[in-house]
A and B are shown apart, each in its own frame.
Chain A
Amino acid sequence: MTDIADPGAAADRVVAAVLADLDGGHRGVIVDSPPGAGKSTLVVRATAHLAETGERMMIVAQTNEQVDDLIDRIATRHPHIAVGRLSAAGYVPGDRVTGHASVRVAQKADDLADRAVVIATAAKWATLSDGSWPWAIVDEAYQMRSDMLLRIASRFEKALFVGDPGQLDPFSTVEVERWAGLAWDPMRSAVSVLLAHNPDLPVHRLPVSWRLPASAAPVVSKAFYPFTGFRSGTGPGDRLLEYGARGMGTTYDRALDEAAASGWALYELPARHTLRTDAEAVRATAALAVRLLQRGPVAHSEQGSTPVTADRVAIGAAHRDQVTAIRAALGPHGEGITVDTANRLQGREYDVTVVLHPLSGRRDATAFHLESGRLCVLTSRHRHACVVVARAGIPELLDAHPSTEPVHLGVPVKFPDGWEANQAVLAHLARHRVPA
């Protein structure tokens, strides 16, 4: 399918095939979507497609943020579809929800019985003990654990599962070994358990990332999606990041210039073993984001030219304490910049991101730090450029990392391997290195 020269046509062909499968009598249809490949657009189109047939449907998302985002998209694009927002007691709807006349909010499903589409988080759906919808659309299905799917699966007859297989795996705070190897291991993702029991369901892959620029798609594709792959919807010259103000020759400016020119920069601090909240690295991460805004960045793309404001910039880190420290370091100049962990940045999109590398300053690499999904999320949120902050020495750290992970019988091998993925990304970043 990647033979098709026009990315739009290639993507349309997949979307058409997905919609055709929805009419094909399958109990489930799965769509794998790499970062920014139009997952939400697909959900909106599938919603409209199913609504046309007159069937009622439920939509399952993983967080309230995702639910409200989908409501906004559906109601904007298809204002004639009656949408119900099922919510927990404490939920206060924002403008994105209340601004649409076609949306009604309720805490009980009975109050939304007349709605063509009812949307809620998986956790909310799991509180229902009866009711059934002919169709469900499950968004971010790779983030949802198998046990959550078990709790909501009785609510629908057929379902479309959409998600990004390259993101973070579900995790638990308790020991889960006893279920290893079971097809219904509650720690598997919803998609994995579904396919284990229904191996004949059609699986589609969206082939084009509309978010990632031409500078990033091949890197992310090769490192994190080695077998399936995807490409960027835009060409090398289609995106341009410009600054209104010239740099002053500082290392921050040089890193930002490199990022604008190539889409990537590795701002490398001297090698040193540090605490997680490495003050120097935290300072540099915050300062790069602030300096970026100070230089009046403008993003030119297929969507036109717009100034890059604080809400279009994100800072990502591995740990909560790093996030807190970076927030504190940002100060008033960084107001409005999103700072969060990889877990919480999943599914989000920005023009420019600044990333504190999970392995920066570490003396020993743990499985947590190496998890490929973490790095994948952090390096695939941007439309224009990604600046990575790290201490020198990560390649040596990776070289010295022992590989003695336990192996459970019957558990499918997970690809890509975190070690390989980290090496691939580092090898690329090395070409865009700016020493501090």
Chain B
Amino acid sequence: MSTLTSLAQLQAVASGVAQPLATVRHCHLAEAPLVMVPLKLAGEAAAPLAVMLGSDPGSPTLLVVPQPRNRDQRFAFAADLARVALKYIESSRGQVEELPPGKEGEERIRYSDAPQLLVPNRGGVAFLRMLGRSTRFRRTDGPYAVEPSVPVLGRWLTWFTDRYDHPGSCLLLTMTETLRLHWATGQSALEDGNLAALVGWIDPPEGLTGPQAAALAEDPLATPPAGPTTDPGFDNEVLAPAVAAYDAARGPARDRAEERVRAVLETQLAPTWELMWRAVGLLRGLPEGASVPQRWERDRDSFTYFHQTFGEAYPQARRDSPVRAAKRLHDMERAQDAYDAQRAFDDPLVMAEHRLNGLAFGGEVTGCDPTRKDESGKRPKLRPHVWVRTGDPVRLDPGTTVCSAANPKIKGTVVEIGPDGAVLVELTGGMGRKLTPEPGTVPQVGDRVVFTSLTLGSFGPSRFPDKENTPWTHGGPPADYEPTDDDAAEDWS
């Protein structure tokens, strides 16, 4: 956090409504995302209770486990969930784009679209992760056989939750975190974790202020929690009796009892379902950031690869091997760097953070020598001088390489920083190849400009040993994973 975000929170307190932290949307938003609101049974690691899901706000699918401790019912639930989710995944591939062949001449393709899952909060991601873990090793034959779609679902859920950890990826998003990236409320991060309270601050219902809407959201009777944990009061007073009645019922009464369990769970899910789509609408109101399509392209690459190689791959390992862990960390750190920089270039409000920290400065151009040349070398070079008057606290040393926030291709060097906030920048690149700059590249007197030392280019991918060459320092090559009967027999609470 920073003073800038904190100030936005203060402004939200004073005005009674959330304040923007972004001027553009920093995430991809699919035309038809798959919204999922899962609930789990209290006290269990990953026993599903219900899920409401779908891509059409008007017609959600509700899946329910009437007796959540019944193993067969859980697997039936997983098979039902797989049917809906896998159909969605298959339908969101779009076209196949042919790409230029790779370095070794191999064919490369990319799907023109990819699936996007939206869940309410991090708890939802954790639940999907556990659901993936508990289903991906299942066997489809033998004593503990499950529907073929169950382990397939497990592997997809694992893939989605792994991508969630990848900075800037939009294949699986949580609504609370996504909203918090774009708005600051007048409550703490803890309270922002409540989706209803958060949406209440951003878009209070008619006649209510943000804090009033948030207060309503804290009453579990008025607003059921967004899951995956249910309200203990609901569990004890409503759900437990309904499940007990289901257990006791026989014959046609059992169907009615099941219907009753569905009905009570629906009361807990429907409000969150509505909130999720309201939040989608709020996000759609923001224009998409310039680098969002580029990051979505990486997501599509990842999707294409996983989809293409699905048939020949094993389920993902329980824990990363040494090499896998190191590679994944490296990928995540590269992605984080790129994501942070891209957001700043996409959004002046994010760039403002860097201006506050002195790694960027903005102001009016007060002087300009657009055709200045450096003739000290063999050949003259185009080196325009630009004076910028800024009130920002510049913390860049002379000699620092900077680029224009509006057009990062335009690069320069800080020459001097005057005491009165005048910064002299010598432009070094991005103005064309001639000795006179291309029109529109060098800023003119009176223009407002921002220069920053941030760069978009990240370090290239690094080299890692193959798994078979895991060194002795890290325990040597790990044994290959072979699915066993034990995996299939594993209990599933």
Contacts and interface: CB of A to CB of B under 8 A. Distances in A.
Q: Do chains A and B touch in the complex (CB under 8 A)?
A: yes
A28 B473 contact: yes
Interface string A150-169: 11011000010000000000
Given A172-B329, A179-B325, A154 B465 contact: yes
B471 A324 contact: no
Contact of B471 (A150, A183, A186): A150
Contacts of B333: 172-174
Interface string A23-51: 00001100000000000000000000000
Contact of A127 (B325, B329, B330, B463): B463
A35 B268 CA distance: 59
A150 B322 contact: yes
B358 interface: yes
Given A150-B322, A150-B465, A174 B332 contact: yes
Given A27-B472, A193-B474, A198-B473, A150 B326 contact: yes
A187 B320 CA distance: 13
A174 B336 CA distance: 7
Contacts of A28: 473
A184 to B, nearest CB: 4
B229 interface: no
A117 interface: no
Contacts of B326: 146-147, 150-151, 186
A193 B472 CA distance: 11
Given A126-B463, A178-B320, A182-B320, A197 B472 contact: yes
Given A150-B322, A321-B395, A176 B329 contact: yes
B168 to A, nearest CB: 11
Interface string A116-160: 000000000011010000000000000000110111011000010
A186 B333 CA distance: 12
A349 interface: no
Contact of B474 (A127, A149, A174): A149
A185 interface: yes
A129 B474 contact: no
A387 B12 CA distance: 43
A226 to B, nearest CB: 28
Nearest to B469: A154
A95 interface: no
Interface in B451-487: 462-465, 469-475
Contacts, number: 90
A7 B165 CA distance: 51
B329 A151 contact: no
Contacts of B474: 146, 149-150, 153, 184, 193, 197
Interface residues of A, number: 34
B434 interface: no
B471 A153 contact: yes
B27 to A, nearest CB: 17
Contacts of B395: 321, 324
Contact of B357 (A129, A150, A190, A321): A321
A205 to B, nearest CB: 21
Contacts of B475: 183-184, 197
B358 A147 contact: no
A175 interface: yes
Nearest to A323: B395
B167 interface: yes
B454 to A, nearest CB: 14
Contacts of B337: 173
B195 interface: no
A164 B237 CA distance: 59
B358 A150 contact: no
A193 B358 CA distance: 38
Given A175-B165, A182-B319, A321-B357, A147 B325 contact: yes
A194 interface: yes
B394 to A, nearest CB: 10
A164 to B, nearest CB: 19
Interface in A40-74: none
A45 B465 CA distance: 31
A175 B322 CA distance: 17
Given A129-B463, A173-B337, A147 B329 contact: yes
B465 A151 contact: yes
Contacts of B463: 126-127, 129, 151
Contact of B330 (A147, A159, A193): A147
Interface in B309-347: 319-323, 325-326, 329-330, 332-333, 336-337
Given A127-B463, A173-B333, A321-B358, A184 B325 contact: yes
A182 B475 CA distance: 11
Interface string B119-145: 000000000000000000000000000
Contacts of A146: 326, 474
A193 B325 CA distance: 13
Contacts of A321: 357-358, 395
Contact of A150 (B3, B165, B473): B473
A424 B213 CA distance: 48
A198 B358 contact: no
Q: Which of B3, B329, B333 has the most CB of A within 10 A?
A: B329
Contacts of A324: 358, 395
Q: Most chain-A CB neighbours within 10 Å: which of B3, B321, B358, B473?
A: B473
Contacts of B473: 28, 149-150, 153, 159, 190, 193-194, 197-198
A151 B470 CA distance: 9
Contacts of A185: 325
A153 B326 CA distance: 13
Given A178-B320, A186-B329, A190-B473, 15 more contacts: A146-B474, A149-B473, A150-B471, A150-B473, A150-B474, A153-B465, A153-B471, A172-B329, A176-B329, A179-B319, A182-B320, A185-B325, A193-B473, A197-B474, A324-B358
Q: 5 closest pairs, A vs B, by CB?
A: A153-B471, A147-B326, A184-B322, A197-B475, A174-B332
Interface of B: 3, 165, 167, 319-323, 325-326, 329-330, 332-333, 336-337, 357-358, 395, 462-465, 469-475
15 contacts: A127-B463, A150-B322, A150-B323, A150-B465, A150-B473, A153-B465, A153-B474, A159-B473, A172-B333, A178-B165, A179-B325, A184-B325, A185-B325, A193-B473, A321-B358
